[in-house]
């Protein structure tokens, strides 16, 4: 096998490129004779992208180019992290003052230009890289995958060079088959210009693989810029402890990208992997699982892992993850604190049990509160980010009042300064129940372009429907003008001023009769 594989992580904020690290590790374990190299455009300055890529290809002369594309979509959290796109959109859509609308339009135009600029730039880098590699090997081939491609694979089919293999979800098995010259058409992929993505391909289950500790001694030999991530001590280096999420939250695509079947990586292997990073000076880890504790039955696995981390003797470690806080026990809380969890995100989305059910999230908000108390009692005294997405389905003034009550209770548990409300509006994603809901309710038509940032489409994708859309628009605009640096808390304060706060018990109780909402029919007809 004479392949030479170059992994190109396309430009991205400097988040550790765990995807290409795992892929190259997997391939090395199977085919140790194959020469590989990692090239991370996340560590290159924008003006140098083209030149740096070409230099790397000239020097390495790969026969297979693996392009990893992490993010495309830019809406999401506000309040310090990328708030501008949302602010511009809201100024443009909802401001009463024509000058503010104009400011929003100008800002929105800049955001759209940057967004399309990045898309074209990445497509250009793929074309350029492939062309350059073909100078040395006319048979050179490109495969494209990663988080962004998994979400938008259908739209990319007209934008990539003929013959490019476009991959959805994890890529280990696909690359394995490709390198063995086997038929890979049953993997979640298609070939541009040759095959079409199968209908509902993203819903197919990924082929499970047995994950072992990544061999960082090897990774260091194929990745000259690895040290970049070791120098700053505020990086949270990704470590995956499992794949898959069994839930059905209406707006979430993780559960199809990773699949519903949860596959646990053996705890000893995870600790072995962390130990290698630890020995290189890393103290901060991000467990990159869709959910660290996806359901109650995985609590013993989380306990086993954390106990093993504790027993390993690694000191001063910190870790963060997405946590479903309905799946905690006092024992687990204790271990979380002892192993240094210093940040976690709970995506309850709403503090109203009624809405949480309607969104099919499967959370019991009362249990979440009790578990948070256990965590506090175990000594947790760090930051919790609570993600709220207003106005997803059937939001009313009453459910807003309930969310405020819920948040105030979290503040009583953890302390006001320790609970950060991250106010999102859902960026509607393809292949989610919310997309189906939008079709059924004629908000979107099948065939719409989920990657479009044109104002008329973007307004629908940035999910904030009327009758409450304008109300939230105004509240957010007010918050940006009065306290932009503490946007989330300010939004809640304004909402409470306007609407008041419900009794907590009301937030925790879903009225009988509206209970059984977790089937499709109810979801799509609930408006």
| Residue 76 in contact with ligand B12, rule: CB under 6 A | yes
| Binding partner selected for residue 16 from ligand SF4, ligand B12, none, CB under the kind-specific 5 to 8 Å limit | ligand B12
The smaller minimum CB distance to ligand B12, of residues 136 and 343, is found at 343
| Residue 90 in contact with ligand SF4, rule: CB under 6 A | no
Q: Which of 270, 232, 275, 258 is closest to 16 using CA atoms? A: 232
| Binding partner selected for residue 129 from ligand B12, ligand SF4, none, CB under the kind-specific 5 to 8 Å limit | none
| Binding partner selected for residue 167 from ligand B12, ligand SF4, none, CB under the kind-specific 5 to 8 Å limit | ligand B12
| Residue 19 in contact with ligand B12, rule: CB under 6 A | yes
| Binding partner selected for residue 178 from ligand B12, ligand SF4, none, CB under the kind-specific 5 to 8 Å limit | none
The string of DSSP codes covering 426-460 is -B--TTSHHHHHHHHTTSS-TT--TT---HHHHHH
The smaller minimum CB distance to ligand SF4, of residues 25 and 395, is found at 395
| Residue 252 in contact with ligand SF4, rule: CB under 6 A | yes
Q: Which of residues 305-334 bind ligand SF4 (CB under 6 A)?
A: 324
Between helix 299-311 and helix 267-279 the angle, nearest 10°, is 40
| Binding partner selected for residue 247 from ligand SF4, ligand B12, none, CB under the kind-specific 5 to 8 Å limit | ligand SF4
Interacting residue with ligand B12 among 79, 104, 129, 171 (CB under 6 A): 171
| Binding partner selected for residue 111 from ligand SF4, ligand B12, none, CB under the kind-specific 5 to 8 Å limit | none
Cβ(421)–Cβ(489) below 8 Å: yes
Cβ(326)–Cβ(363) below 8 Å: yes
Q: For the CA atoms of the chain, what is the radius of gyration?
A: 23
Q: Which of residues 444-503 bind ligand B12 (CB under 6 A)?
A: none
The smaller minimum CB distance to ligand B12, of residues 68 and 317, is found at 68
Spatial separation of the C-alpha atoms in residues 333 and 296, rounded to whole Å: 14
* Strand-pair category, 64-68 with 141-145: parallel
Q: At closest approach, how far in Å is the CB of 436 from ligand B12?
A: 17
| Residue 144 in contact with ligand B12, rule: CB under 6 A | yes
Interacting residue with ligand SF4 among 126, 249, 336, 346 (CB under 6 A): 249
| Residue 197 in contact with ligand B12, rule: CB under 6 A | no
> Cis link prior to 237 (omega < 30° from 0)?
no
C-beta atoms surrounding 242 within 10 Å: 24
| Binding partner selected for residue 224 from ligand B12, ligand SF4, none, CB under the kind-specific 5 to 8 Å limit | none
The stretch among 116-124, 247-255, 369-377, 465-473 that binds ligand SF4 (CB under 6 A) is 247-255
Spatial separation of the C-alpha atoms in residues 209 and 452, rounded to whole Å: 35
List of residues 6+ apart from 192 with CB closer than 8 A: 157, 160, 161, 162, 163, 164, 165, 166
The smaller minimum CB distance to ligand SF4, of residues 173 and 324, is found at 324
Three-state SS for 484? Answer: helix
The smaller minimum CB distance to ligand SF4, of residues 93 and 363, is found at 363
Interacting residue with ligand SF4 among 347, 421, 469, 473 (CB under 6 A): 347
**Residue 13, Ramachandran bin (φ over 0: left; ψ between -120 and 50: alpha; else beta):** beta
List of residues 6+ apart from 231 with CB closer than 8 A: none
The smaller minimum CB distance to ligand B12, of residues 253 and 369, is found at 253
| Residue 71 in contact with ligand B12, rule: CB under 6 A | yes
Q: At closest approach, how far in Å is the CB of 234 from ligand B12?
A: 11
Spatial separation of the C-alpha atoms in residues 254 and 242, rounded to whole Å: 13
Spatial separation of the C-alpha atoms in residues 75 and 93, rounded to whole Å: 15
């Amino acid at each position: 096998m004479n392949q030479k594989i170059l992994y190109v992580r396309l430009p991205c904020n400097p988040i550790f490129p765990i995807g290409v690290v795992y892929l190259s590790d997997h391939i090395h374990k199977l085919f140790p004779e194959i020469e590989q190299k990692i090239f991370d455009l996340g560590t290159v300055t924008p003006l140098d992208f083209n030149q740096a890529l070409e230099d790397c290809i000239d020097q390495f002369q790969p026969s297979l180019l693996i392009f990893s594309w992490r993010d495309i979509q830019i809406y999401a959290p506000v309040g310090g992290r990328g708030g501008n796109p949302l602010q511009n959109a809201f100024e443009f859509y909802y401001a009463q003052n024509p000058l503010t609308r104009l400011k929003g339009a100008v800002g929105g135009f800049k955001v759209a230009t940057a967004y399309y600029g990045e898309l074209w730039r990445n497509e250009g880098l793929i074309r350029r890289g492939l062309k350059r590699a073909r100078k040395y090997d006319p048979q050179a081939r490109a495969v494209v995958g990663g988080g962004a491609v998994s979400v938008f694979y259908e739209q990319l089919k007209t934008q990539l060079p003929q013959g490019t293999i476009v991959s959805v979800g994890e890529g280990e098995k696909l690359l394995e088959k490709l390198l063995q010259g086997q038929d890979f058409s049953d993997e979640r992929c298609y070939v541009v210009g040759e095959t079409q993505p199968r209908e509902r391909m993203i819903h197919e289950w990924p082929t499970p693989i047995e994950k072992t500790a990544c061999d960082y001694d090897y990774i260091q030999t194929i990745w000259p810029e690895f040290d970049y991530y070791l120098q700053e001590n505020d990086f949270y280096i990704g470590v995956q402890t499992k794949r898959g999420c069994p839930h059905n939250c209406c707006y979430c695509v993780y559960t199809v990208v990773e699949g519903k079947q949860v596959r646990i990586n053996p705890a000893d292997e995870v600790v072995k992997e962390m130990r290698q990073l630890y020995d290189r000076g890393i103290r901060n880890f991000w467990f990159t699982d869709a959910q660290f504790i996806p359901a109650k039955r995985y609590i013993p696995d989380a306990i086993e892992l954390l106990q093993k981390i504790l027993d390993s003797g690694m000191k001063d470690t910190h870790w963060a993850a997405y946590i479903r806080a309905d799946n905690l026990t006092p024992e687990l809380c204790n271990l979380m604190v002892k192993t240094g969890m210093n940040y976690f995100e709970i995506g309850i989305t709403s503090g109203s049990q009624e809405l949480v059910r309607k969104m099919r999230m499967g959370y019991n908000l009362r249990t979440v509160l009790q578990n948070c108390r256990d965590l506090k009692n175990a000594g947790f005294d760090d930051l919790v980010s609570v993600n709220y997405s207003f106005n997803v389905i059937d939001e009313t003034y009453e459910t807003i009042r309930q969310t405020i009550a819920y948040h105030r209770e979290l503040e009583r548990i953890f302390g006001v300064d320790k609970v950060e409300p991250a106010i999102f509006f859902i960026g509607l994603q393809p292949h989610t129940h919310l997309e189906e809901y939008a079709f059924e309710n004629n908000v979107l038509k099948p065939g719409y372009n989920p990657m479009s940032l044109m104002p008329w489409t973007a307004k629908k994708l940035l999910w904030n429907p009327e009758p409450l859309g304008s109300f939230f628009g105004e509240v957010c605009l007010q918050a940006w003008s009065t306290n932009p640096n503490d946007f989330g808390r300010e939004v809640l304060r304004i909402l409470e001023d306007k609407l008041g706060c419900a009794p907590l018990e009301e937030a925790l109780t879903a009225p009988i009769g509206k209970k059984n909402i977790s089937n499709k029919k109810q979801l799509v007809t609930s408006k």
